[in-house]
Each structure stands twice: as structure tokens, then as C-alpha cells.
Amino acid sequence: MALSVEMKVLIIFLSILLLHVPAMVYAKDDQSDTLDCGSPQGTSYTENATGINFVSDDGFIDVGVRQDIFNYSERVFNTLRSFPENKRNCYTLKLPKGKNNRYLIRAQFYYGESRGQPPQFDLHIGTDFWATIDISDPDTCFFQEMIHLASSDYIYVCLVNTGQGDPFITSLELRLLDVAMYKDGSPSSLILWERTDYGASEPVRYEDDKYDRLWLPEKQDLYRSIQTPHTVSLKPFSEEQVPLKVMSTAITPVNST
């Protein structure tokens, strides 16, 4: 059947609309989606250390400028996306499990020593203030993390220019949590202050922690590290599902008195 001119125009118009629908980030149970911000369009790779799959943020946000660093051992820190225009620039994260579920959101920032002093700017979840990004050492990888109870099917992570340089971001990660975790007396958002694995010699994350929480080791001069090869009971930490690898290490005083 021949199509009328009006029908052809309508089909073309609808096709244009479909082409301009922005891509979204989908969180999966197997930690398979993480944005490598500033990487070229079509980038997709698996990080050897963790087995986590990274994809380009191209298409997840339609503003910003790609910049290459090329001086860091981990591939994800070799690019960034900066935002020289607009006061506020937002990533849109579409949640496959939808609202009323808890998610871990982690934003990482690496500026590079050769680029000088990093800018200072604010990070928001939607219209709500999350943190001020103020990096003292440009050669240090810095991250902000929160646990968020989603009230809608989308999460908006926004970088806000406060007049102290162009905001930038290196990676953006979204992890689906068990909705029963962190629920007792908790507000809708919990901003990470510290997550330490005493007695450990290296960081713990996915796959040892299936939710990809980042547990950092810390040395104490007055303590020695101890560990057990035996299975440790999670009680009373079962609701938060602390990894067994974290629970198997500890510290004890060098001087017992």
C-alpha cells in the first residue's frame, strides 16, 4: 500500500524523536554497568582486577567535553569528562528495579598532577546537595559514595559549577542493593563517611562483596593484624551482609596492657 506524503512525514518525525531519546544507565545484579566518563563512544571493557564491565558515558549525558589523561595504571582513570558550560549538568540513571529500592551510587574523580590544581564544585542527587568536591592532591583518586532509597524510577547525578573551575568526573557507578539493607531508622540517603577493613592488606570489593562496596585497609602502629581461615558468623551484621573476607580479619593491641 502506498503511503501518503503526510504519513511519510510522520514516520520521519517519529524516527528523529527515537534517535534523540537519551541512553540510560541500567543497574544489574551482576555489577555489569559502570560508566567510564570521557571514554570514546562505543567503549566497553572488563576491568581485570574486579571483573566489572565499564562502558562509555557517551549518550548518557549530552553535554561536557572529553579529556584524556593517559598517566594512570587503571584504564578508567585515563579519561574524564569536564563541563565548561552550564551551571548544572546531570547524568540520568534509569533504574530497572524502579523506585523504593536501595542503590549504592559512587562517583570517582581523578584530575592528574600535570593539569594543575583541580577545580572545586558541588555534587547533587537531583536537587539535593550531596557533597562539595574539593581535591587537595590532583594525583590522588578521590571518590564520593552514598546509599540512596530511590523515590522514582530515575536517579539524577548532577555536577554544579560554584565558580571555582569547571566540574569534572572520571567514573560513575550504580549498584543495586538488597532493599532490606540499611533500613532500620535510616533516612532515604546515607552518605559514606568511612568503610574500613581492619587487619586487611588490600582493598576489598566485588566479587568478594557482591554489592561492590569498597572496604579500605588501614594500618595502626599500636596494633597487629590477625586473621582466621575459618568461616565467621555474620551476626549481628547479617542484615548489612558484610563480606566474609572482611569479617575474617581484625586487629589486636601489640601491648596487651
What CA–CA distance (Å, rounded) separates 14 from 199? 59
Q: How many percent of the chain have pLDDT more than 90?
A: 65
The answer to whether residues 172 and 157 belong to one domain is yes
Write phi, then psi, for 196 (nearest 5 degrees).
-115, 140
Contact of 90 with 60, CB cutoff 8 Å:
no
Peptide bond into 207 cis (omega under 30): yes
Is residue 195 predicted with pLDDT exceeding 50? yes
The answer to whether residues 165 and 180 belong to one domain is yes
HEC secondary structure over 202-256: CCECCCCCCCCCCEEEECCCCEEEEECCCCCCCCCCCCCCCCHHHHCEEEEECCC
What CA–CA distance (Å, rounded) separates 24 from 148? 18
State residue 214's pLDDT score.
96
106 domain-assigned? yes
Higher-confidence position of 129 and 33: 129
15 domain-assigned? no
217 domain-assigned? yes
Question: What's the mean pLDDT when you consider all of the chain?
Answer: 85
The answer to whether residues 257 and 159 belong to one domain is no
Report pLDDT digits (tens) over 200-234. 999 999 999 999 999 999 888 899 999 999 988 88
CATH of the domain at 177: 2.60.120.260
Is residue 58 predicted with pLDDT exceeding 60? yes
Highest mean pLDDT among 13-22, 62-71, 170-179 belongs to 170-179
- The pLDDT of 98-127, averaged and rounded, is 93
Query: 154: buried, middle or exposed (CB in 10 Å: 19+, 13-18, 0-12)?
Result: middle
- The pLDDT of 140-152, averaged and rounded, is 94
Closest C-alpha among 215, 212, 246, 241 to residue 52: 212
6 domain-assigned? no
177 domain-assigned? yes
Q: Write the Ramachandran bin of 224: left for phi over 0, alpha for psi from -120 to 50, otherwise beta.
A: beta
158 domain-assigned? yes
Last residue of a domain, one of 157, 191, 225: 191
Is residue 14 predicted with pLDDT exceeding 80? no
Last residue of a domain, one of 140, 156, 191: 191
Place 43 in a pLDDT band, splitting at 50, 70 and 90: very high
What residues form DSSP beta bridges with 189? 148
What is the longest distance spanned by two Cα atoms in the chain? 93
Peptide bond into 236 cis (omega under 30): yes
Number of domains in the chain: 2
The answer to whether residues 186 and 202 belong to one domain is no
Higher-confidence position of 80 and 9: 80
Report pLDDT digits (tens) over 151-188. 999 999 999 999 999 999 999 999 999 988 998 766 78
Higher-confidence position of 72 and 230: 230
What CA–CA distance (Å, rounded) separates 141 from 165? 18
13 domain-assigned? no
The answer to whether residues 80 and 148 belong to one domain is yes
Q: Which of 7-21, 188-202, 212-226, 237-251 has the lowest mean pLDDT?
A: 7-21
10 domain-assigned? no
The answer to whether residues 122 and 213 belong to one domain is no
What CA–CA distance (Å, rounded) separates 78 from 70? 5
State residue 183's pLDDT score.
83
The answer to whether residues 70 and 179 belong to one domain is yes
What CA–CA distance (Å, rounded) separates 154 from 167? 22
The answer to whether residues 218 and 142 belong to one domain is no
The answer to whether residues 92 and 216 belong to one domain is no
Is residue 28 predicted with pLDDT exceeding 80? no
The answer to whether residues 36 and 120 belong to one domain is yes
Domain span including residue 155: 21-191
The answer to whether residues 217 and 137 belong to one domain is no
Is residue 9 predicted with pLDDT exceeding 70? no
Query: What is the layout of strands, in order, in the sheet containing 34-36?
Result: 44-46, 53-56, 34-36, 171-176, 102-109, 142-149, 189-191
The answer to whether residues 115 and 171 belong to one domain is yes
Query: 90: buried, middle or exposed (CB in 10 Å: 19+, 13-18, 0-12)?
Result: middle
How does 132-141 read in b/e, with b if 16+ C-beta sit within 10 Å? Answer: ebebeebeeb
